Amino acid sequence: MKKYIFLAATYLVSSMSGALIYRLFDEPREVVIREDSSARYAATLGEDPLDEVRPRTFLSASPTEFTGAAGAATPAVVNIRTMQKGRNFHFWGEGVNTATGSGVILSADGLIVTNNHVIEGADRIEITLNDKREFEAEVIGVDPSTDLALLRIKAANLPFMPFGNSDSLRVGEWVLAVGNPFNLESTVTAGIVSAKGRSIDILEGQDRIESFIQTDAAVNPGNSGGALVNSNGELIGINTAIITRSGRYEGYSFAVPANLVRKVIRDLRDYGTVQRGLLGVFIENLNSRQAEALGLESVEGVLITRVSPGGAAEEAGMRKGDVIIRINNVKTRTLSEMQEQVGRFRPGNVLSVEYIREGKANQAKVILKNKTNDTALVTARDESMLRDLGFELRSLTREERRRLGVNGLKVISVYRDTKIEKTNMEPGFVITRVNGKSLSALEELTAAISGATGKILLEGIYENYSETYYYSFIME
């Protein structure tokens, strides 16, 4: 035992002596450990692209920070509760059907945007702010073509959300969805922009515009009408739809782009209806077979299949078979992208349209028209007045004016059980005068009738009949 203790002590003394001698005679050294911040590559790139291995850095970007954007957005997002009279079969009597959604405050004096489907058919609309205050809302205007609606509440100094530029969004960019799903208070979810210019065929009507921003941010029932927000806390879309088999979130949500929302809401505020500028064309997406037949280098663009007589495109020299590739220098790769671009402008606005014809690039200046085939802006009151009177009108085309030798408005349809039907007026009648005054545009007719009382006399002609016809009705 003493032998082993002696050996251990001898080993310990020898080790300590060696270390002491090394420290006395060796120069001191500074050891610095540095972390290389340059990219680490998993492999170099090979000559065959199929063997290519992308560089991997394992160094993340700066921590993603959403608290500022969420804090700015949530006070401006409201809960919307609608009530509609109906049958409540549980109680076997009259009842009230209720539904909920979300909305976004756009101005300090109470303008709120939401989806049309959120408030459609409602008899009463209640708004609950983020601070729990409650208001009853009035409908300023709706646009089923984009599924948007504008509401107003009587309030002041409200927090509101500024518009961002949805055109600047890039696929892969972080976004927030802010809404009130499942009757919860304001809820924030995060995701990325998955795609732009998506059409999912959910809206109805010839004028529908589907050019959605697709995201993977969780959007659930009740989020409809809520805000899609960028990392700066700006509104870049109105959450509108999800694709789901379960009825709940499955990873696909869609928002109306803010640049389109801004135009629609401004029109609803100023006119009560959307001033939609029309190119006057029937269009479809280009496919590879058509692109090859037309001698195009890529399958990008919108093919014109028909041009409306006297429409904006025809008057600008465009025709069937042309392929629209840019509007105001913005690429229009698909039908939905083109519809979104045109949908931002009003009748009378001039667009620069670039198109391909027989393999050659051309450019046209197109003056947009409205549904009545002129450039006038029509208010909701004017539209309602004409509908109540009982007819649908449009301006004469250039060819019709030349052929008939007159200016005027053409009657497209006559509605049943109306003042106009009782006059025995037929579709195709061309109104040239109202109460003895000549007409050339729709606003001249609405101005003459609006606020008038007593007898209104409409004078005009039918094509292929030489005589003049007169129709009268009483305004009360």
Domain span(s) for CATH 2.40.10.10 in the chain: 67-152, 166-271
- φ, ψ dihedrals at 225, nearest 5°: 90, -5
In this predicted structure, the answer to whether residue 32 has a pLDDT above a threshold of 50 is no
Question: Under CATH, which number does the domain 166-271 receive?
Answer: 2.40.10.10
472 catalytic per annotation? no
224 catalytic per annotation? yes
117 catalytic per annotation? yes
Q: What string of DSSP letters covers 198-244?
A: E--S---STT----EEEE-S---TT-TT-EEE-TTS-EEEEEEEE--
Question: Under CATH, which number does the domain 380-475 receive?
Answer: 2.30.42.10
- 184/41 Cα distance (integer angstroms): 47
pLDDT tier at 246, thresholds 50, 70, 90: low
Partners of 281 in the beta sheet? 307
Structure tokens at 157: 């100094």
- CA 96 from centroid of its chain's CA atoms: 32
Structure tokens at 211: 């050019």
CB atoms closer than 10 angstroms to residue 30: 4
Residue 247's pLDDT is 63
What percent of the chain has a predicted confidence (pLDDT) above 70? 82
Catalytic residue among 145, 166, 194, 224: 224
pLDDT tier at 22, thresholds 50, 70, 90: very low
Partners of 78 in the beta sheet? 103
CATH of 281-367, one of 1.20.1090.10, 3.40.630.30, 2.30.42.10, 3.40.50.300: 2.30.42.10
Average pLDDT on 359-383 reads 86
Q: Decide if 94 contacts 88 (C-beta within 8 A).
A: yes
Of 76, 95, 72, 93, the closest CA to residue 84 belongs to: 95
Tokens 């083109």, located at residue: 338
Q: Mean pLDDT in the chain? A: 82
Domain span(s) for CATH 2.30.42.10 in the chain: 281-367, 380-475
293: three-class secondary structure by DSSP: helix
Partners of 438 in the beta sheet? 433
Q: Is the pTM of this model over 0.85?
A: no
Catalytic residue among 117, 143, 145, 395: 117
Q: Decide if 387 contacts 371 (C-beta within 8 A).
A: no
- Burial class of residue 475 in the structure, from the number of CB atoms within 10 Å of its CB (0-12 exposed, 13-18 middle, 19+ buried): middle
Residue 238's pLDDT is 95
Of 65, 225, 209, 254, the closest CA to residue 161 belongs to: 225
Please report, for residues 72, 102, 216, the alpha-carbon distance to residue 226 in angstroms, rounded to integers and kept in the order given: 14, 5, 15
Residue 28's pLDDT is 43
Least confident of 28-32, 65-69, 134-138, 253-257: 28-32
Catalytic residue among 147, 322, 374, 382: 147
Question: Under CATH, which number does the domain 67-152 receive?
Answer: 2.40.10.10
CB atoms closer than 10 angstroms to residue 123: 11
Q: What share of the chain is helix, strand, coil (3-state, %, to 5)?
A: 25, 35, 45
pLDDT tens digits, residue range 93-113?
456 788 889 999 999 999 999
Residue 48's pLDDT is 43
Least confident of 138-142, 373-377, 417-421: 373-377
- φ, ψ dihedrals at 263, nearest 5°: -65, -45
pLDDT tens digits, residue range 165-175?
898 889 989 99
